[in-house]
Amino acid sequence: VGINRLQKLRPTIAESGLDVLLVSLLENYRYLSRFTGSSGWLLISDSHAILATDSRYTEQAKQETQDFEVIQIKGELDNWLPQLASDLRWHKLGFEANHLSFAAHHKLSENIKAKQPNLELIPTTNLVEHLRSIKEPGELELITKAVELIDAAFEQAKTIIHPGVTEKEAAWEIEKFLRQNGSEGVAFDPIVASGPNSALPHAKPTERILRPGEAVLIDMGARIGGYCSDFSRTLYLGKEPKAVSFQLSAIYNVVLEAQLTAINRIESGMTANQADRLARSVIQQAGYGDAFGHGLGHGVGIAIHEPPTLSPTSTDCLLDGMVFTIEPGIYITGLGGVRIEDMVTLEKGKVKVLTRSKKDSFQLSASL
Ligand code: ZN
């Protein structure tokens, strides 16, 4: 598999006019080499595939990677890369401009100027991310497992989430369930946001006690075999319809309609901003355009957020094999928010929804 990924990447490196690509982003070097350590660099040219890491990781790297020659390095990039580039006669070296820090780049170029002036540093963006965005069958399988675990976690969460527990308690129960059932850590800290807190799209769980008559927004993700899932639902705690819940349930219906519209009408070949507009126009027509402040969704894989980006300004193209979220939301300060998030893949031109959890009504908590 690793060899396949390298073979797919090498033409892109050549087309970009590079002799070699320096890969520094953890998700990218993990994808290409299978090395799971937290410090490492890949150097990929037509004839070389090198994994450079320090003494903490060289043994692990040799065990985990088959297609890369592992070399042990010392110190920062500028300490070893110019000499290696000179030995291998590389002149045009691409680096990941979204990731390599300004400070690292600065030190490296100072060193190159002094010691090897004919080595040129060339910024690249998303070369490996583009490969990663189209999932192989094995990757889709792992993602599906991570989605299934989240569906089970949601069933469990519904038995925990009731008036009287705090957001933090509920979030911890979710995390415990995920880890006890095979999640490698969590894809991100679970969000449980109640009442007015649900109006914050990325709220942190607090000591706030859940109360009847409120919305509770849950956002959580699992990780299986290195692959993430992402999921949101909004529950309503209570039976008696209060003024607040009338407005919340109207909002819920708008968000659901926006989400279903996107699911039914997104097609392969569309740009990601067209996809975003499908859902956004439903929310705008209902008068809540300003209350949907984030993009419609994002790719999910080794990283919880990765290309494609579904947003009003994204120029990404949606293609078969991509996996991403569809997660419109409406957030009203003081009242609360609603988000409904499923994971989907594009298959034979159409959206296939991976998430199974119900979303057809503003669900009452089962424990009431
Ligand atoms: Zn998400």
Each residue's pLDDT tens digit, 239-274: 766 666 788 889 999 999 999 999 999 999 999 999
Query: Taking 60 as the threshold, does the pLDDT of residue 67 lie above it?
Result: yes
Instruction: Tell how far the Cα of 29 is from the centroid of ligand 1, in angstroms.
Output: 23
- Ligand 1 center to 221 CA (angstroms): 9
The structure tokens 């419609």 sit at: 296
Q: Which two tokens stand for residue 131?
A: 């490969």
Kindly give the distance from the C-alpha atom of residue 304 to the centroid of ligand 1, in angstroms, as a whole number: 7
The candidate with the shortest Cα–Cα distance to 318, out of 282, 349, 286, 362, is 349
> What distances in angstroms separate CA 207 from CA 163, 320, 324, 368, one per listed residue?
13, 43, 32, 21
CA nearest 158: which of 71, 233, 68? 233
* 103: CB partners within 8 A, 6+ apart: none
- pLDDT of the residue at 239: 72
Q: For the ranges 84-93, 111-120, 278-287, which has the lowest average pLDDT?
A: 111-120
Tell me if the pTM is above 0.85.
Answer: yes
Average pLDDT over residues 73-85: 92
Beta bridge partners of 124: 96
Inter-CA distances, 260 with 219, 235, 327, 350, 359, Å: 19, 18, 10, 13, 10
Strand order in the sheet with 214-220: 191-194, 214-220, 231-237
100 CA to centre of ligand 1 in angstroms: 25
Phi, psi of 246 (to 5 degrees): -60, -45
Q: Are 198 and 274 in contact (CB under 8 A)?
A: no
Cα separation of 355 and 342, whole Å?
Answer: 5
User: Two tokens at 164?
Assistant: 């009287």
Across the range 214-243, mean pLDDT stands at 89
CA of 113 to the centre of ligand 1 (A): 43
pLDDT of residue 212: 87
Q: How far is the CA of 355 from the centre of ligand 1 (A)?
A: 13
Rounded to a whole number, what is the distance in angstroms from the first to the last CA of the chain? 50
91 CA → ligand 1 middle, Å: 40
How high is the mean pLDDT of the chain?
94
Instruction: Specify the length of the chain in residues.
Output: 368
- Cα(81) to ligand 1 centroid in Å equals 37
Q: Distance, CA 12 to ligand 1 centroid (Å)?
A: 29
Asked if residue 366 has pLDDT above 50, the reply is: no
Would the pLDDT of 177 be above 90?
Answer: yes
In 146-299, at which residue ranges do the beta strands (DSSP E only) sit?
A: 191-194, 214-220, 223-224, 227-228, 231-237, 297-299
